[in-house]
Amino acid sequence: MKSVWQKDSVIPEFPELKKDIKTDVLIIGGGITGILTAYFLQQNGIDYILIEKENICSGVTQNTTAKITFQHGLNYQKIIKGFGVETAQLYLKANKAAFEKYADLCKNIECNYETKDNFVYSVNNRQKLENEISALDKIGYKARLCNDIPLPFETSGAVQFSNQAQFNPLKFISSIVKDLKIYEHTFIHKVNQNTAITDFGKITADKIIITTHFPFINKHGSYFLKLYQHRSYVIALENAKNVNGMYVDENHTGMSFRNYSNYLLIGGGGHRTGKQGGGWSELRSFADKYYPDSREKYYWAAQDCMSLDGIPYIGQYSKNTPNLYTASGFNKWGMTGSMLSAMILNDLIMDRKNDFAEIFSPSRSILKPQLFINGFEAIKNLMTFSKRRCTHMGCALKWNSSEHSWDCPCHGSRFSEKGEILDNPANKNLEQS
């Protein structure tokens, strides 16, 4: 299982940390969020190091579909309903700033950056699309409601954002990462105030940023209640139609489409991690029906952290941890989410005012319907009998027959057949009986 980005990208390698070290800022997690944060800290002359337990970008980042857009599903109507027009305007402005930062950086990087229109379609709910257009009108953004889009099945239309973008994320990272202060294959067992413990010693830092996809420190922030993980699948087809744009279903269980080089990427088959879903078989059946002359060349799976309210958590880890920060819950929009996180976190580290920090604060209210769904899943699986229990908080693991892994329905940790960690927040392998 290998993503299309890996076939023509070479990521630089970095040494293992085998000594005690002191730094002003410690970044834990070497995906695109941590790397962008390190990149900006270095530009600003801040002393930092980034620690990754394996190789950088070997997790979620290499499995993205790499769409750069500030159109996040039909999220603007939801934000207006939950928070009001002003917050929706700030959300748009923030993500547009992240989009523009990519555009600026990619001018000088060969990373297959292309300007494309983005479409959020609905299979059978025209009203949702019209509601989103109304919401966008309220916050001053003019989008287009399309009746016809070049997908091989009937839809109720789509909301179109013009001049968005797509790229190869690993080529992009390969360029910006070369001179950064990074240590790979360095596992952090524990974080205690301003000290992180590794296999070979300790790292002392004035400030610590957790960018490990799912925040793994349970005693602060209640992320085990605020987040769940959603798994989705991708296939790359040769000899399939160029759809000349980026397309995503407004329904989480729907499909997404974009082209890269001579491939058509189709995403979908999604489900809450640890639950049942269509997986690759759903995508392959779709391809057989609608692209019968195509050939599958690559396939992979992605995992996304989903917040309670459709807005990421970026900032101080909790109210009680002034020198601990995190970024998570990008709700499937990890490209703009990671860039926005790096921008906000840099301002917070440097004690600069950031106009967007408040709406993304992890300490905002958690009283949302999804909280009770997450709590129910946790209680149900904690009470389920199973010999295999997640090393994160002890939930019963479920067998994923598509990927031959043990998955946690509570918080999304995943383990191989041999019990090795595949996805966090768990940070300890399963004990073998």
pLDDT tens-place string over residues 314-329: 999 999 999 999 999 9
Give the global pTM: 0.96
- Residue 398 pLDDT > 60: yes
CATH annotation of 369-423: 2.102.10.10
Q: Say what the pLDDT of residue 7 is.
A: 87
Number of helices (H), then strands (E), in the chain: 9, 21
Cα 216 to chain centroid, rounded? 15
Per-residue pLDDT reduced to its tens digit, 31-45 = 999 999 999 999 999
The mean pLDDT value of the chain amounts to 96
pLDDT of residue 315: 98
Give the pLDDT of residue 2: 87
Grade residue 218 by pLDDT with cuts at 50, 70 and 90: very high
Which DSSP state fits 367?
-
pLDDT digit string, tens, across residues 244-300 = 999 999 998 899 999 999 999 999 999 999 999 999 999 999 999 999 999 999 999
Per-residue pLDDT for 213 more than 50? yes
pLDDT of residue 432: 61
Residue 389 makes CB contacts below 8 A (sequence gap 6+) with: 395, 396, 397
Element (H, E) at 304: strand 295-306
Residue spans per domain, the chain: 4-64+171-225+309-349, 112-164+227-306, 369-423
pLDDT for residue 359 is more than 60: yes
| Average pLDDT score over residue span 381-407 | 92
The per-residue pLDDT for 62 is: 95
Given a cut of 90, is residue 1 above it in pLDDT? no
- Percent of the chain past pLDDT 90, that is, above it, reads 95
- Domain covering 112-164+227-306, topology: D-Amino Acid Oxidase; Chain A, domain 2 (3.30.9)
Please give the Cα distance from 338 to 335 (Å, whole number): 5
Element (H, E) at 19: none
pLDDT of 433 reads: 47
Architecture of domain 4-64+171-225+309-349: 3-Layer(bba) Sandwich (3.50)
